Structure formats: structure tokens, C-alpha cells
Structure 1
Amino acid sequence: MTGRRAEVESGTAVIVEQLTRRFNGGPPVLDALDLAIAPGEFVALLGHSGSGKSTLLRTLAGLDPVTEGAVTRPRDVSVVFQEHRLLPWKRVWKNVVLGQEDKGIRQRAEAVLEEVGLSHRKSAWPLTLSGGEAQRAALARALVREPAFLMLDEPFAALDALTRLKMQQLVADLWKKHRCAVLLVTHDVDEALLLADRAVVLERGQIRVDVPIPLPRPRRHSDPEFERLRTLLLDALGVHTS
């Protein structure tokens, strides 16, 4: 693992080894979990509530401690949560650069807001944004840091169906441009198949299924391989389609 850890330290991969997480002496939420994410790889993480998805993401984000096992990740990481977490008393562009003071930061904020289609709202107050606009701002805040590893924690769950489709396409376009490693936590099998290179299903803190998604982009629901993979993932989640 020495060479792979060296890669991570230079910002090119994520490695989880035998990660176990317990709360108050209870059963493990994560149980000796092993996971590797390659440079530029887009991984979707699926599982029922309580399977360990959010705990894994919080650990990878550095929000929860590592007490059993090991986690190695790039130095530059960003997270987009289901809630946009914008400060209502700061204008959009100032939310994007929150905590950063380096020279030229406003220009970088304006550039990334243009990338996410929000340049016309850069001076707006967050409370005037729609749900989709607020999540675009949250994406801009994550991308302005130029992360080597981007985590998305069900970022579209609160959006209406049409806005969700638009945001999925935006994330696909941004990933194609920036090519950082991505971990997307989602309950949506179709979303995983539309966006990811690989889908991982967690069950009781362990990986039940880890399957590549070798579909050409842009992807189509009508593709027979899409439907085969969809059935495989739904079966792994206990949803039987036949």
C-alpha cells in the first residue's frame, strides 16, 4: 500500500482500509470496510438508510474521527450536502469564497459561478434563490477550492424532478471538465447509472456489491445494459423487479 498512499498524498486517490465505526459501544455502522477510488473516478454509493453511507462520507470529509482502520485521501477535498448551507447574510459570491482570502478570489468565484450557470445571481442574497440555484451555488463553493476529491451527499434529493435532471447534467459536465475523483451518495439507482463509473452498494456497513458501469456517455435508459445494471443494483438493494 505504500505506493498507493504516496499517490493519495499527492492528491490522486482515496483509500479506505478496514474502516470500522461504532457509536456508544453499539454494533459497527462501518464494519472493516475497504474501498479505493482512482484518480478522476466517479463512484456512486447506494444503500438503505442506516447502511453507513453518510458515516463513510463524514469520515472521508474529516468530520468524524478514524478510530479503527485507516483512511488516506487528498489534501484538497470539498463536500456538497443535501442542504445548501449558504449563509443568508452574505451575497452569493461571498458564500462561494467563504473562508478564503487569497488574491483574485472574487475573480475565481465569478468564473466558477459562470460554470454553474449562476453568474447573473452572483450578488443576490441566498434567500432569493430557488432550490436549484442554491445547489448550484453550493457546487460553485465546492469547485472554487479546486478539489482533488469531491463528495456529494444526496445533493439533489430536495429538488423537483425537472430541476434534478438539470442538476445531474450539470454535475456530469463539471466532472468532465474538472476530472476530480467524486463520491456521490444517493438513493437513486438511475442517478448512479447516469453519472458514475462505478456503483457500490453498502449493507450494514459492508460492501455488498461493487460493480463497474462501462456504459458510453451520454447514457440512455433504453440501453439494454443500463436496464441489466439497474436490475442488478435494485436486487442488491432488496427491490425485486420481476
Structure 2
Amino acid sequence: MNYISSLATVATDLQPAVSVRGLSRRFGNGSPVLDKLNLDIAQGEFVALLGRSGSGKSTLLRALSGLDPVREGQISCPQESAVVFQESRLLPWKKVWQNVMLGKAGATRSDARQVLEEVGLGHRTDAWPLTLSGGEAQRAALARALIREPKFLMLDEPFAALDALTRLHMQNLVSALWQRHKSAVLLVTHDVDEALLLADRAVVLEKGHIRAEVSISLPRPRRHYDPAFVHLRSALLKHLGVDE
């Protein structure tokens, strides 16, 4: 089976949950960080966004999340959107359940406890953030996003600061949650293997343009030693300018 699709042939029959058209972003008089970018994410699709530092990944995510104004181009996103950053950004003076409640206006302690149970953190509901491990803090941040019941979830390198074992646990958790809720997901990552383990499609950015899109139709759960996985890793690394 051919697991690789070119930019021209990656397509979906599903109605896009997220649509980006002609998005450009520049800072000062420099070259555009994003240059007339077009991107669709289908309902229930998991997309990984890769690229070198400065390629525009975080700039795109900030525009999608509403943190940066859109002055050139158009973005259409579900109102029920949420983002998880590399840092958990928990308020240290509020307990874990109180931090989770901040994700949704009108949320109750019962709502917070329910979503904390879902991410495996029910036993830390009343803990203070500073007593959490790195993995626990990211679970709390994920719960704060999930309490919104998002139709579009953005993940900005949320596992980058975690140790290898905790990172693997978090990847498995995100995969399980996505398969359960089927929201559209955009994961910003530098990790090619992470993209291949989690995503339906990998998008490679370079200098504000989409250099390549790779459809990842491998059956789940995925294994690093699968020849098709190895083949896709090589293809993505080449798109990223890495010669194995």
C-alpha cells in the first residue's frame, strides 16, 4: 500500500471543521512568517504540524487560537476551541479543580472532577499545582481544555518538556481521548515519531508555506518497527531537510 500522498492529492470528503485561507503574517518589515497559507482540518481529523524553528508553526497556532489578530486572510474555527501549551500555565494559588474550571464559564466542581477522572488525575483534584509532577500538570492543563468539550483542540508541543516515559504515557492518553471524542486536533511538534504515532496527516511548514502534506493511514496502535512507519519517517525527515 502507498502510504504517502503529495500535497495535491491529500484530500477528505468530510466538511472542514477548520479552514484557513490566504493567511499572511509578518512582523515589522521582515519576510512574512506566514505567506498566503491555506489549510483545512476535517471534523474528527488529527493533524500534526511540523517544521524547523521559525517556519511559522506557533504563529499559525496563535492565529487559530485567537491570540494574534488576523489582518490578512480568513480563518474559520469552531467556537468550541481550546489550546494546550508546552507550559501547563496553572495558577499556583488555585487548586487543580479550580484551575480546570477556568476553562469554561459556568463550570462546576463536579464538571472539573469528571474531566480530571477522564485524564487520570481524579486523585489530585484538591492538590495545589506546585505539588504536581510535570506529567500531572500537563494532564491538568489538558483537562482544563477538555472541560470546554472542544470541537477543535490545539496542542502546542505539550509534551516537549516531559521525560521520555511520561511523554509516551501522555501520547497514549491524547490518542485515547481523541478516539473517544473525535474532535479536530492540531498538534504542533518537532518530533516526527510523535506525529506518526498520533496523526492522520502530517503538514510540513517551511518559511510560511506548506512544503508537504503526508497522509498517515497506518492502522492503530502504531509501532516504530513497522516497515510502513519507518518508510513514512524517512519521507517526513526528507521534507524537513534531514538526510538519514
Match of 2:26 in 1: 22
Q: Does 1:143 align with 2:146?
A: yes
**Alignment RMSD, CA only?**
1.3
> 1:25 offset after TM fit, Å?
2.4
Query: Residue by residue, what CA displacement relative to the aligned partner does 1:13-46 show, whole Å, maximum 9, x if unpaired?
Result: 0000011001112210001100000001000000
Q: Does 1:125 align with 2:144?
A: no
Query: Residue by residue, what CA displacement relative to the aligned partner does 1:73-123 show, whole Å, maximum 9, x if unpaired?
Result: 111110000000000000000000116452x62111111100110000000
Match of 2:93 in 1: 89
Give the count of matched residue pairs.
Answer: 231
Q: Does 1:59 align with 2:63?
A: yes
Structure 2, unpaired ranges of 5+:
1-13
Match of 2:223 in 1: 220
Letter in 2 for 1:121: R
TM-score, normalised to structure 2, is 0.92
After TM superposition, the structure 1 stretch with the greater mean CA deviation from structure 2, 23-32 or 76-85, is 23-32
Check whether the contact 2:104–2:147 (CA below 8 A) recurs between aligned residues: no
Q: Structure 2: how far apart are the matches of 1:226 and 1:100?
A: 38
Q: Structure 2: how far apart are the matches of 1:32 and 1:38?
A: 20
Q: Structure 2: how far apart are the matches of 1:97 and 1:50?
A: 34
Match of 1:182 in 2: 185
Q: Structure 1: how far apart are the matches of 2:109 and 2:127?
A: 15
Match of 1:208 in 2: 211
Letter in 2 for 1:166: H
Residues 31/168 of structure 1: CA separation in 2 closer, same or farther (3 Å cut) = same
Check whether the contact 2:103–2:145 (CA below 8 A) recurs between aligned residues: no
Structure 1, unpaired ranges of 5+:
1-6
Q: Match of 2:37, SS?
A: strand
Percent identical pairs in the alignment equals 71
Q: Structure 1: how far apart are the matches of 2:217 and 2:104?
A: 38
TM-score, normalised to structure 1, is 0.93
Match of 2:155 among 152, 167, 171: 152
Match of 1:40 among 25, 36, 44: 44
Match of 2:3 in 1: none
Letter in 2 for 1:147: P
Q: Structure 2: how far apart are the matches of 1:96 and 1:113?
A: 8
Q: Match of 2:73, SS?
A: strand
Q: Structure 1: how far apart are the matches of 2:171 and 2:231?
A: 21
Q: Match of 2:69, SS?
A: coil
Q: Does 1:236 align with 2:221?
A: no
> 1:145 offset after TM fit, Å?
0.5
